[in-house]
Amino acid sequence: MTAPPTRSRIKVCGLTREADLDAAAAAGVDAVGFVLYAPSPRAVTPVRAAELARRLPPWVTPVLLFVDEDPAAARAALEAIPGSMAQFHGDETPRQCADSTDGGRIPFLKVARIPLAGPAFDLVKFAGDYPMARAILLDAHVEGYGGSGKTFDWSRLPPSVAAHLVLSGGLTPANVGDGIRALRPRCLSLAVDVSSGVESAKGIKDPGKIHRFIAAVQAADGLQRA
């Protein structure tokens, strides 16, 4: 018997507007991300994130992105949005991640910022350092934190990682299928995370690009014809 296709979960990050949130949810994403990091051009306040999250239908997970946030402030933001997850994008230690999520009671992702050049990143060790993380999100190590449109060299990752991975960093409808095929055999499960690749301007999502991105993921998963 042939095994059923594996479905890659999809997150669209950096949402700032109701129309974009509604478009992403209607297109069938699994999660949406709100950036709670003031220097980002896609930043929203915790109050605004909660306001937007209330529009989400059931089964779409709100994810709050933090960069070296005070654990008490991060925990308060997460507790204000029922069913939310955290995404730690800075230099947070395992203890800081735990303190921000009530000892891991609130699920979280930890971001591994993969260098564009230089020595290979030890993803196996990194994943082992954050055993409470639900998944490790892979992003390109660039100035700033995410949303740069830069892609790192996927071939430099280890051949096997005993972790759930989320691929991010410069994904578009044109390359996400290649990323899925390159990484899925290396991990327990794979999700993809897109921001700039489905935008018409920073913080402004394009519904057509969102639909094309999802179609490309489904094609790579074998759930529809490319």
**Average pLDDT, whole number, for the chain?**
92
- Which entry of 97, 139, 187, 193 is annotated as an active-site residue? 139
Q: Which helix (H) or strand (E) holds 204?
A: strand 204-205
Alpha helices in the chain (DSSP H): 18-27, 46-53, 71-79, 94-100, 123-129, 176-183, 207-221
Structure tokens at 147: 């949303």
Report pTM.
0.93
Sign of CA dihedral 74, 77, 83, 86: negative
Rounded Cα–Cα distance for residues 65 and 36 (Å): 6
- Domains of the chain in sequence order: 9-221 (3.20.20.70)
Half-sphere exposure of 116 (CA within 13 A, CB side): 10
pLDDT single digits (tens) 171-221: 999 999 999 999 999 999 999 999 999 999 988 999 999 999 999 999 999
What Cα–Cα distance (Å) separates residue 128 from each residue in 7, 124, 146, 163, 164? Answer: 25, 6, 23, 9, 12
Q: Is 193 a catalytic residue?
A: no
Q: Is 139 a catalytic residue?
A: yes
Half-sphere exposure of 101 (CA within 13 A, CB side): 28
pLDDT single digits (tens) 19-68: 999 999 999 999 999 999 999 999 999 999 999 999 999 999 999 999 99
